[in-house]
Amino acid sequence: MKNIIVIGSMSIDLVVSASKRPGKGETVLGDDFFTTPGGKGANQAVAASRLGEQVHMVGRIGEDDFGKEIYENLKNNNVIVSGVEPVTHLPSGTAHITLSEQDNSIIVVPSANYEVTPTFVQKHLESLSEGDIVLLQQEIPSETVEFVIDYCSKNGLVSILNPAPYREISDSIIEKVDYLTPNETESDAMFKGDLDDALSAYPMKLIVTLGENGAVYHNGHEKVQVDGFIRDVKDTTGAGDTFNGAFAVALQKEYNLEKALAFANLAASHSVTGMGAQSGMPTLEDIKGEWDV
Ligand code: RIB
């Protein structure tokens, strides 16, 4: 059985909803405020675990109340937390989220997440076996992402990089990674040109997510669009993370790419029906009417 390992960020999300997003120098009144576990890495680990797979989380938290909450939440979602270690000199990561006009804007303060260094992750990588699946995002240092992808390509591990939030990635990383899963905005920034050209340049590797329109890739002969699902949207935060966690589960189940993306689209569509990044993430039970589990 292949392992799924998420190497990445864990945060507490501080979420405010408002009918209007403030402009520069402006103050507006909000409608609601709540805090909830988030961070792209932790979200992806929880998404994969809810879908019934054994998932290991590797990352760092502060020795503070947020750190305790992050840790307990992972355990409550059956994520294996032996790779989660505290740092003493930094607080836990936080994300400051504004929900407005059916979408979100987020400022992430990585704090302890920037202590997910190559040295820290190396011991965890060394415990993995060929074929294990490693899921990464970009709320940890870029040198760690590069180190992990290089390690995976040299040791027969399957790597998935969700390049969110966007930052520049070297061509060699794009060559070495097995799957790259930007959304449309990240893909535009990364390939600075035509989506179709980018897809055909990286067949069976580049998967661009399109929200409720699903996801698209190139199979070596033609572009393939895998349809999404329309739901009543409460909160889109964490939909991309649910897609990535579910995609890792689908690879673990050895689905072909088209089926894997259909599974990931289905899980992501459920996630937007709950408030906060994780509350709408489905279990296998939740999707059983729509997927032959
Ligand atoms: O992808 C959603 C996540 O991005 C939120 O949970 C927040 O923590 C930010 O990192």
The token duo for 265 is 């689209």
With a CB cutoff of 8 Å and minimum separation 6, the contacts of 164 are: 40, 137, 138, 182, 183, 186, 240
Beta carbon of 93 within 6 Å of any ligand 1 atom:
no
pTM of the full structure: 0.97
Cα angle vertex 139, ends 138, 141, to 5°?
80
Tens digit of each residue's pLDDT (9 = 90 or more) over 177-213: 999 999 999 999 999 878 999 999 999 999 999 999 9
The finding on whether 13 has its CB within 6 A of some atom of ligand 1 is: yes
Catalytic center residues: 241
Atom of ligand 1 nearest to the CA of 139: 10
pLDDT of residue 140: 98
pLDDT at res. 103:
85
Q: CA torsion 225→248→11→64, rounded to 10°? A: 170
Q: How far apart are CA 217 and CA 239, in angstroms?
A: 19
- What number does the ligand 1 atom closest to the CA of 237 have? 2
Which band of pLDDT confidence, cut at 50, 70 and 90, is reported for residue 141? very high
3-class DSSP state of 165: coil
Mean pLDDT, the chain, rounded, equals 96
Q: Is residue 162 lining ligand 1, measured as CB closer than 6 Å?
A: no
- Domains of the chain (ranges, CATH numbers): 4-18+33-287 (3.40.1190.20)
165 upstream amide cis, omega within 30 of 0: yes
Residue 9 and residue 110 in contact, taking contact as beta carbons nearer than 8 Å: yes
Given a contact cutoff of 8 angstroms between Cβ atoms, the answer to whether 213 and 243 are in contact is no
Measured between alpha carbons, how far is residue 79 from residues 87, 90, 132, 236, 240 in Å?
20, 23, 16, 23, 19
Report how far ligand 1's centroid is from the alpha carbon of 94 (Å): 9
